[in-house]
Amino acid sequence: MFIRKLESVNAFVAVDLADVPGAGVARLAPKILQGGAKNLARSMTYVLASLERRETGISAGINAQPDDRADAVSSFVNEVAGWEAGFRLTTGKGIDVGELGALGDPLQGHLVAVSAVAAAMASMPAATTASVMGGDAALDAQLASANLTVINSDDPVSVACDLLFCGSKVGAVDHLAAARLGCSVVVPTDALQLTARAVAVCRQRGIAALPDFITTCGPLVADSEDAATTAASIITEVGDHPDGPFLGACERAESFLAGWQDHLPFGRPMAP
């Protein structure tokens, strides 16, 4: 993992693996922290490895005030496009669709909901109820399509249900939240929702903690049917792993990485 700083603007790109093309997200704010960007890059590396792509996860941060954002984004795009690194970026916080020009990947965010619900149903085919923490219209549509009844609650973490879909802040499900879970399966709909201690607590309690780098893989598959099939098949493959599906999926991704990297990246994709 390394940080490549730009010369023309106060910005950087966190790059997990050297000398290969990469994909990830670009964000803009007055202060984007490099540590958070590194975590997002690592998570994306595991997404790509799970899809058997010899690419690296990346994450870009552009530090700019609101009045300067347009010039900052333009300078960022022009400089990174000249790197010839084969990097592709989706728009994250602070960046509008289309602003990344030739660097931008078409944003198909609705496919996150497709892969997440497919993964959830593969983990628990008999599921009938769900709780949602940080949902959107695309997720609502997929839940309805799967005939899942959403239980509305002021405390979606603890409500009794089959599936908890969580797409809130990084580390939304920590060990304290995991101890209160009322669900059978935790289904992230955004990166880095679970901490390492939360994954351990889920395992102790017999709750399936699904890996966010599988449940959110849909946009990288870029086809609704394939996104559902891919996520479901991987969860089925790792679902009976003795250490749970999250660590099972980590080992699966690492097995692919070991086939073309001299050393595995240090640290698994979990929230700090």
What are the pLDDT digits (tens) for 214-240?
Answer: 999 999 997 899 999 999 999 999 999
> Are 138 and 54 contained in the same domain?
no
Residue among 156, 253, 259 nearest 212 (CA): 253
Asked whether residue 255 is domain-assigned, the answer is no
What are the pLDDT digits (tens) for 155-213?
Answer: 999 999 999 999 989 999 999 999 999 999 999 999 999 999 999 999 999 999 999 99
Asked whether residue 269 is domain-assigned, the answer is no
> Are 120 and 214 contained in the same domain?
yes
> Are 97 and 138 contained in the same domain?
no
Task: Name the helix (H) or strand (E) containing 200.
Answer: helix 196-205
- Residue 65 maps to which CATH number? 3.40.50.10860
- Residue 153 maps to which CATH number? 3.40.50.720
Beta strand pairing call for 87-91 and 22-29: parallel
Return the bridge partners of 130, or none. Answer: 150, 163
Residue among 6, 24, 7 nearest 15 (CA): 24
Do residues 140 and 240 make contact, with C-beta atoms less than 8 angstroms apart?
A: no
> Are 157 and 245 contained in the same domain?
yes
pLDDT at 8 over 80: yes
pLDDT at 102 over 90: no
> Are 122 and 67 contained in the same domain?
no
Asked whether residue 183 is domain-assigned, the answer is yes
pLDDT at 107: 67
User: Token pair 């530090």 is at which residue?
Assistant: 63
Both tokens assigned to 180: 């209160």
Percentage of the chain with pLDDT > 90? 93
> Are 136 and 8 contained in the same domain?
no
Residue among 209, 143, 139 nearest 177 (CA): 209
> Are 98 and 140 contained in the same domain?
no
Of 80, 103, 126, which closes a domain? 103
> Are 92 and 210 contained in the same domain?
no
> Are 53 and 175 contained in the same domain?
no
> Are 98 and 191 contained in the same domain?
no
What are the pLDDT digits (tens) for 35-67?
Answer: 999 999 999 999 999 999 999 999 999 999 999
Do residues 83 and 99 make contact, with C-beta atoms less than 8 angstroms apart?
A: no
Asked whether residue 237 is domain-assigned, the answer is yes
User: Token pair 């595991």 is at which residue?
Assistant: 46
| Number of domains within the chain | 2
Please give the residue range of the domain that contains residue 136. Answer: 110-250
Read off the pTM.
0.96
> Are 243 and 115 contained in the same domain?
yes
Cα(91)–Cα(109) distance, integer angstroms: 10
